[in-house]
Amino acid sequence: PALGLFLFTIARDPLRIIILIAGAFFWLVSLLLSSLIWFIAVKASDPQDEPLQKGLLIFGVMFSVLLQEAFRFLYYKLLRKAIEGLVALSEDGCSPISIQQMAYVAGVGFGLMSGAFSMINLLADALGPGTVGIHGDSQLYFLTSAFMTMVLIFLHTFWGILFFHGCEHRRWWEIAAVVVMHLAVSGSTFCNPLYVGSLVPSYLLMAAAAAWAYSLSGGSTQNLRRFLLCK
């Protein structure tokens, strides 16, 4: 689905592609820094201690979430400057791309990158021989990974919209809500392999975020009804 999003909405306009790749880049940098921190922490600690390692991992995840949001903010700042530049350069005084579109594309960029990083090694291994969950782990590993990744990609997209909207209108509570949601989603994955604990809340949160973002972008129930009934 994310690829479909990309193809239909982004691939046409070159500016959006650039914003997408830049968004992916920012996510990547945030990942880099967070893994640097984690790596240092791991090296500084005892490798044999299992719970400690897991605790460190959890700490790493949380830190990474915070860093991702921080980089989203930085990216927002960059895009603001870029919009001013584009407005100055365009012929008719208005930017060729609006901040909401940028928010959307940035969100997709983040999402795609995070999804890609989560899934791609999995996919590569999935091509090879083997049995899922042979050591007593869940047999649904691949399926749940796929679903989780998809939900994360969508969530990143919606968070992008919400976040940028919050920054635009200076509503700090919106930004805080996004951060909290992200933390919640990541936190819920800690209950894996108890998949009920992670997938269900994530999907619920995604639905909520989707509705919120939709309403923020100017949609309404009438639009939705008209769209669904193809009026």
Partner 1 sequence: MTELSAHLPQFQHGQLTENFPDNHLSNTNDNSERRRHDNSERRRNDNPESETNGQPHNSTQQVVEQDEEEDEELTLKYGAKHVIMLFVPVTLCMVVVVATIKSVSFYTRKDGQLIYTPFTEETETVGQRALNSILNAAIMISVIIVMTILLVVLYKYRCYKVIHGWLIISSLLLLFFFSFIYLGEVFKTYNVAMDYITVALMIWNFGVVGMICIHWKGPLRLQQAYLIMISALMALVFIKYLPEWTAWLILAVISVYDLVAVLCPKGPLRMLVETAQERNETLFPALIYSSTMIWLVNMAEEDPEAQRKASKNSTYDKQAPANQTQNEDAEADDGGFSQEWQQQRDNRIGPIESTPESRAAVQALPSHSQTSEDPEERGVKLGLGDFIFYSVLVGKASATASGDWNTTLACFVAILIGLCLTLLLLAIFKKALPALPISITFGLVFYFATDNLVQPFMDQLAFHQFYI
Contacting residues toward partner 1, per CB under 8 A: 13-15, 17-18, 21-22, 24-25, 28, 31-32, 34-36, 38-39, 42, 53-54, 57-58, 60-61, 64-65, 68, 85-86, 89-91, 96, 113-114, 116-118, 120-122, 124, 141, 144-145, 148-149, 152, 185-186, 189-190, 192-193
Among candidate residues 141, 174, 139, 143, the one with its CA nearest the CA of residue 159? 174
| Comparison of 117 and 214: residue with beta carbon closer to partner 1 | 117
Give CA–CA dist 104/100, Å, rounded: 6
Among candidate residues 212, 21, 213, the one with its CA nearest the CA of residue 104? 213
Nearest approach in angstroms of CB 228 to partner 1 is 31
**DSSP per-residue codes, 173-204:** HHHHHHHHHHHHHHHHGGGTT-HHHHHHHHHH
Give CA–CA dist 203/66, Å, rounded: 21
Give CA–CA dist 171/74, Å, rounded: 17
| Comparison of 119 and 213: residue with beta carbon closer to partner 1 | 119
| Comparison of 132 and 224: residue with beta carbon closer to partner 1 | 132
Nearest approach in angstroms of CB 72 to partner 1 is 13
Nearest approach in angstroms of CB 216 to partner 1 is 25
Nearest approach in angstroms of CB 39 to partner 1 is 5
| Comparison of 31 and 214: residue with beta carbon closer to partner 1 | 31
- Chain centre distance of CA 89: 31
Nearest approach in angstroms of CB 175 to partner 1 is 19
What does the radius of gyration of the chain's CA atoms come to, in whole angstroms? 19
| Comparison of 13 and 168: residue with beta carbon closer to partner 1 | 13
Give CA–CA dist 215/229, Å, rounded: 19
| Comparison of 85 and 219: residue with beta carbon closer to partner 1 | 85
Nearest approach in angstroms of CB 212 to partner 1 is 21
Nearest approach in angstroms of CB 145 to partner 1 is 7
| Comparison of 152 and 216: residue with beta carbon closer to partner 1 | 152
Instruction: Map 16-61 to HEC letters.
Output: HHHHHHHHHHHHHHHHHHHHHHHHHHHHHCCCCCHHHHHHHHHHHH
